[in-house]
Structure 1
Amino acid sequence: MASPSSETGAPEPPETIEVEDTTVACDGGGGALGHPRVFLTLKGGRAECGYCDRLFVLKEGVKPASGH
């Protein structure tokens, strides 16, 4: 659950991370306080972690790999 903003009481937006690949791993970034590592596939240039709500977006100008 996101913590409320001190000024408005509205939840803070999730962290947005720009990436250069369409497959990313997220572990919450908190070391032992994070969450299990999950692998996400960016569809439409974005993916959101179901555990921590981090948003991964494809960097502008980066073309997704065509696959193997």
Structure 2
Amino acid sequence: MTSVKELCVASNSANNAPQPPEIIEVEELVVACDGGGGALGHPRVFLTLDNGRAECGYCDRLFILKAGVKVARSH
């Protein structure tokens, strides 16, 4: 039988687990990220989607190029 203490410890461990990063599909090769929290966000940074993806170094948001999107690349 599981004790109340064991249940509380298990519950707290589950609540403190890191959240998976937010994944945002985009249609451009350059995106801006400010954390999305208004004043509680982070400085705006511009990210280039090399190989169709980029991760924000501040908030770990993952930006991926939408499937099937054709983007003109400069030579």
Q: Which TM-score tier does this pair reach, normalised by the shorter chain?
A: 0.7 to 0.9
Residue 66 of structure 1 deviates from its aligned partner by 1.6
Residue 13 of structure 1 deviates from its aligned partner by 0.8
Match of 1:66 in 2: 73
Match of 1:27 in 2: 34
Q: Return the alpha-carbon distance in structure 2 between the equivalents of residues 5 and 11 of structure 1.
A: 9
Q: Name the structure where helix makes up a greater proportion of residues.
A: 2
Change in CA separation of 1:30 and 1:64 when aligned onto 2, cut-off 3 Å: same
- Tell me the amino acid that sits aligned with residue 56 of structure 1: F
Moved >2 Å (runs of 4+): none
Matched residue count = 63
Partner SS state of residue 50, structure 2: coil
CA RMSD for the aligned pairs? 1.8
Consecutive unaligned residues of structure 1, counting only runs of 5 or more, are none
Residue 19 of structure 1 deviates from its aligned partner by 0.2
Match of 2:20 in 1: 13
Change in CA separation of 1:22 and 1:11 when aligned onto 2, cut-off 3 Å: same
